[in-house]
Amino acid sequence: MEKNRIVHTSLTRRVADVISLKMKLLTIFIFAGSMALSASSYSQKTRIDLQLENSTLTEILNSIEKKSEFIFIYNANVVNADLKRSISVRVEQIDKILELLFQGTDITYRIDDRQVFLSKKNDLKNPEQVNESILSDQVRNRKISGTVKDSKGLPMPGTTVMVKETTIGTITDADGYFTLNIPSDAKILAVSFVGMISQELTIGSQTTFNIVMAEIPVDVGEVVVVGYGTQKKLTVTGAVSALKGSELLKSPVANLTSALVGRVSGVIGVQQNGQPGKDETTLRIRGIGTLTSSVATPLVLVDGIERSFSQIDPNEIESFSVLKDASSTAVYGIRGANGVIIVTTKKGTEGKAVVSYTGNTSLQSPTRLPKYLDAYNFSLIYNEALRNDNPLTTQTFTDAELQKFKDQSDPLFYPNTNWLKLLIKEYAPQTQHNLNIRGGTKNVKYFVSLGYLNQTGLIKEFQQSSGISNNNNFSRYNFRSNVDINVTPTTTVNFQLGGYSSVRHSSQITETDAGANTTLMSQILVSAPNATIGMYDGKIITLDRSGNKNAIANLAAGFVDYTDNSLNINLGINQKLDMITKGLSLRGKIAFDNFYDLRRVFNRSTPTYTPLKVYPNGVETVVFRQNGELGDFVSGPSTGFARSRQLYMDWALEYNNSFGRHNVGALVLYNQKKRWYHSYAYPGIPLGYQDWVGRVTYNYALRYLLEFNLGRNGSENFPVNSRFGWFPAISAGWVVTSEPAVEKLIGKNKLSYLKLRASYGQVGNDIMGSTRFMYYPSEYLQGGSGIFGEDPVKYSSYTEGKLGNPDVTWERSKKLDIAVETRFFKDRLSLLFDYFSEDRNNILTTRKTVPSYVAVTLSDAYNIGHVKNKGYEIEAGWESNIKDFNYNFHANYSFARNKILYMDEALNDQYPNLNRTGHRVGETFGYIFEGFYNTPDEVTAAPSYFGGRPTLGDNKYKDITGDGVINEYDQQALKNPAFPEITYGISAACSFKGVDLSILFQGNANVSVPVQDYFYRPFYMLGTALEMVQNRWRLDSPDNNAHATFPKPSVTYARSQNFYNSTINIYDGSYFRFKNLELGYTFNKQQLKRLRLESIRLSLSGQNLYTWDKLKILDPESIANANNQYPQCKVYNVGIKVQF
């Protein structure tokens, strides 16, 4: 202990000296602000209580150090350790205490802020020489000297230079220079400075030393990508979550968005669809801070340019950064309010070329398919439902017919078709290959990657004989080439080329037209089990019977191919300008993107056959009536294409420098972007953005962190004279564990890291759907039509478009973020707590309270919404090892809850239950289900029911308004919003020698799924009925109705009130999922000597392996009313990775 504090020095004073030498205006400014408070006043302000009986001087000094921030600096032989003293002072200043303490000794002292130098009387002339003189009585016959500099070549004043295992040492001066007389037997020179890696040098015969100190990599190797740059994780003061690309590779999913969920805090995701090529996960950062969920999409940047990342090969990804608070997103200003996701692709590394091949083969299987009734029960309940609708109705299916459905004695006419079994495969393959080469020399570094993905759909083939596939298929080729070249010692050029080409094939005829019932799942949903046998003898069979839809008939009728081509090019240059001033550099970037999508629809008429029983000569014979002819495929009129290109350009001046422990950074950046769309409003005018960005960072010894970010952005959506807005954010951090006193007090072994940070700022949003030029007045659009003429002609015509809002401006989101980051026990345990709140006003939305008679097109944007969003994130981790067994656990939990403070809604005093204001965004409004009307008495006593009388078996809804009438006014917000408020992930991983294992569990909570239409109403659109109908309310078995969980079925929806949104059909959408498992074995170089390979890794992995949920009808992430729902899939995967 004693040795450790043998020589310290006054850092502040020394730094002040440095600054006087190399002063920079900016530094002074910041320095003055942060240091003025602490300078020299400490000793006067601080009062200490001290009561010690008969203690050694060392004990007393220790005690003072514990009670204050004072540090005593002295040579051990100055202070007589045996000297014992008693001292009793109350609320006394340090100099008074010391005076008392050293009364009658030969010790004198000098106070410099928190440092107290002790020496023998007469020695204290100049602190720099203190130690020299202290040591003068020792035998020293050699003199050494040297300078200490940091890695940037800047002198390091105040560095301790000691002869190891002695008390001989000194401190460097303002120029980092030291001289030291050392004993002849001195062997090792120890050099140390807070925040730097301590060094030990062999002295030998050397007399001059040029010592370069390296900073302690506080978070080993952790550099985080932030907006327009990178920062050390330690110095980041904004809320930024980072994820390494390698983490994503654990998930064998085709769409990159699906791999993020559960691994990063603050990112809430829902994968609503599983269709190959369309299985993107909807991501929201810190929930929803605006009035509608669909517009709360984060800004996504790939290598600094706004691009989609969902179709990038995961092998190309270096890292993800999720920027969550105002501090980190202010540089994106007008686009930053919904958070930002930055994807960075891999770059070359210095070293020999490493060739990696990765191959994966997977099987996909639906996580859950709905369970449908068989033909017998379907027909039975159909009869019953018709009777429910209309007691007078004749029995559609006679008892004899029902028997045939049951015993399957006549399957052609009385089929029992399980469409899911008939049409859907249990497993569908998926393969993925990637080959990449990474390497480089000092001057040229490269990363080149080629990827291929093929994902097959789950539909069985029915059309192979005609040479086409009715199954879904998605194949994608990815490529990327990132090259960095040092053109001159100060100039770096990087060239990034990336893109993909994909073909999505699907049996859907018109994918976009959800109402046309042509998607696969909707075909199954509208094909009743008793409708037809499907195919018989190669013929597609339709029967003249209830809902006689045959899913195969539509699957055979056509297909659609989407061909997407996307090309991204970045060209960047970085020029150091150290000549002008050290640490200055200029960089610039030009990016060009091109996207082309071709959609081709192929349709043909396909004959179906209707079996008929005829009786020639009284003998029953089956004949088939052909309906329609087989036509040729025609590429339908809906052949279409979309294309866009964008040109981006930026330049930036960046400055990074350190002055002793003052680290200063600054950035000024300008960028502009144009995007040309083929199909968009105002197609002739490219979409443009223009931004100026400023950032200043300062930190003192990586301990006190301060950052200021500023965006000035313009958006075409706003009036010409008020297009540009300022978006400032300030943030600060304090790395408590870098305080020597704290370190001393607790010790790095217990609390290895503690950072407090906070940020506050304002960001914006300028987007509302695809509306452009929101201010632009009185627009007339081509559209609408009048049909005139005796031979009718449809005239295209002008209709009034938006009126424009001359006062429109951006959404203003004020965000606060406060976080504590900690690590304990030599970084084994880590904990993070991050609280945030967002207050967004001026939300762009349409007016909703304008009376209908005003009748203007209300797509106009007005800044009238106000939403608050608050929440927190917790991350916890444990990383450790038992010898070679490394293991870790991580957990993250994110919660975000919003509240509508204002939307354009006339608050209804009479029916406050109808108000959405005050509720969360996306809550479903409906009725409170209170059981069924089970007895005639209940019906008689019932209130007026939607204008009529309830009947037996109707849903009993709560009379919320209490007016004795059940009607539309009795609705209220039900349960949770449709987008989850909580998401969490728990992961664990371990490795031992070559084996590694990782698992991920993920869950969403506080979410409701309204189960509607196809997935709730039996016979909806004359389609199928779900098994849950079995437990229905039945008129003919009143005893069981007490346990009924489903309303009485209806065919015509005569009793459609029973299918209104109510608490009976709004399900809890929470789930907990065994999301990912990966088991791998890596053969090391030694094992592979013969093969001359670097490594081989074999892995088994799985995705969505098991789910605990409450929905039970569909996968809990589904939208339970969409007829184009394609099942989410489990994936079982075998992978290999070879490096050579």
Positions 723 through 752 that interact with other proteins (CB under 8 A): 723
Q: Is 907 in the site for other proteins (CB under 8 A)?
A: yes
Toward other proteins, which CB reaches closer, 691 or 834? 691
Count of other CB atoms within 10 angstroms of residue 462: 23
Site for other proteins in 170-229 (CB under 8 A): none
Q: Which stretch binds other proteins (CB under 8 A): 36-44, 67-75, 772-780, 1080-1088?
A: 772-780
> How far is Cα of residue 351 from the mean position of the Cα atoms in its chain?
33
Toward other proteins, which CB reaches closer, 126 or 852? 852
Q: CA 764 to CA 768: how far, in whole Å?
A: 12
DSSP conformation letters of 577-638: -TTTSTTEEEEEEEEEEEEEEEEEEEE----EEEEEEE-GGG--EEEEEEES-----EE-TT
Q: Is 1108 in the site for other proteins (CB under 8 A)?
A: no
Rule CB under 8 A: choose which of 1022, 1035, 1100, 1136 binds other proteins. Answer: 1022
Q: Is 1019 in the site for other proteins (CB under 8 A)?
A: yes
Rule CB under 8 A: choose which of 1057, 1061, 1063, 1082 binds other proteins. Answer: 1057
Q: Is 714 in the site for other proteins (CB under 8 A)?
A: yes
Q: How many residues does the chain have?
A: 1140
The site for other proteins, by CB under 8 A, has a size of 114
Site for other proteins in 495-524 (CB under 8 A): 515-516
Rule CB under 8 A: choose which of 130, 224, 248, 386 binds other proteins. Answer: 386
Q: Which stretch binds other proteins (CB under 8 A): 263-271, 467-475, 907-915, 1126-1134?
A: 907-915
Class of residue 1036 by CB neighbours under 10 A (exposed 0-12, middle 13-18, buried 19+): exposed
Q: How far apart are the first and last CA of the chain?
A: 51
Q: Which stretch binds other proteins (CB under 8 A): 83-91, 165-173, 331-339, 645-653?
A: 645-653
Q: Is 936 in the site for other proteins (CB under 8 A)?
A: no
Site for other proteins in 544-603 (CB under 8 A): 544-548, 573, 575-577, 579, 586, 588
Q: CA 767 to CA 462: how far, in whole Å?
A: 45
Toward other proteins, which CB reaches closer, 21 or 622? 622
Cross-strand bridge partners of residue 453: 432, 476
Give the single-character DSSP code of 682: S
Q: Which stretch binds other proteins (CB under 8 A): 40-48, 71-79, 499-507, 845-853?
A: 845-853
Q: Is 607 in the site for other proteins (CB under 8 A)?
A: no
In angstroms, the Cα distances linking 260 to 246, 250, 565 are: 11, 11, 24
Toward other proteins, which CB reaches closer, 632 or 791? 791
Q: Could you tell me the smallest distance in angstroms from the CB atom of residue 22 to other proteins?
A: 22
Question: Whose structure tokens read 């490096």?
Answer: 1139
Q: Is 1032 in the site for other proteins (CB under 8 A)?
A: no
Toward other proteins, which CB reaches closer, 486 or 880? 486
Rule CB under 8 A: choose which of 22, 143, 794, 1112 binds other proteins. Answer: 794
118: three-class secondary structure by DSSP:
strand
Site for other proteins in 39-68 (CB under 8 A): none
Q: Is 629 in the site for other proteins (CB under 8 A)?
A: no
Q: Is 796 in the site for other proteins (CB under 8 A)?
A: yes
Site for other proteins in 668-687 (CB under 8 A): 670, 672, 682, 684-686
Write out the H or E segment, with its range, that includes residue 407.
helix 399-407
Q: CA 49 to CA 62: how far, in whole Å?
A: 13
Q: Could you tell me the smallest distance in angstroms from the CB atom of residue 951 to other proteins?
A: 9
Q: CA 575 to CA 581: how far, in whole Å?
A: 13
Site for other proteins in 996-1015 (CB under 8 A): none
In our burial notation (b when 16+ CB lie closer than 10 A, e otherwise), range 321-356 reads bbbbbbbbbbbbbbbbbbbbbbbbbbbbeeeeeeeb
Q: CA 328 to CA 758: how far, in whole Å?
A: 11
Q: Which stretch binds other proteins (CB under 8 A): 107-115, 152-160, 297-305, 384-392?
A: 384-392
Q: Is 409 in the site for other proteins (CB under 8 A)?
A: no
Q: CA 357 to CA 555: how far, in whole Å?
A: 38
Rule CB under 8 A: choose which of 537, 791, 937, 1039 binds other proteins. Answer: 791
Residues 6+ apart with CB under 8 A from 276: 254, 455, 456, 457, 472, 473, 474, 504, 506
Categorise residue 993: left if φ over 0, alpha if ψ from -120 to 50, beta otherwise.
left
Q: How many Cα neighbours within 13 Å face the side chain of 255? A: 23
In angstroms, the Cα distances linking 497 to 453, 487, 647, 961, 977 are: 19, 19, 14, 63, 41
Rule CB under 8 A: choose which of 140, 142, 744, 847 binds other proteins. Answer: 847
Toward other proteins, which CB reaches closer, 468 or 1051? 1051
Toward other proteins, which CB reaches closer, 220 or 400? 400
Q: Which amino acid is at 2?
A: E
Q: Which stretch binds other proteins (CB under 8 A): 172-180, 253-261, 281-289, 714-722?
A: 714-722
Toward other proteins, which CB reaches closer, 48 or 584? 584
Q: Could you tell me the smallest distance in angstroms from the CB atom of residue 965 to other proteins?
A: 10
Q: Is 477 in the site for other proteins (CB under 8 A)?
A: no
Q: Could you tell me the smallest distance in angstroms from the CB atom of residue 946 to other proteins?
A: 6
Q: Is 487 in the site for other proteins (CB under 8 A)?
A: yes
Site for other proteins in 853-882 (CB under 8 A): 853-856, 858, 860, 862
Q: How many Cα neighbours within 13 Å face the side chain of 985? A: 23
Q: Is 613 in the site for other proteins (CB under 8 A)?
A: yes
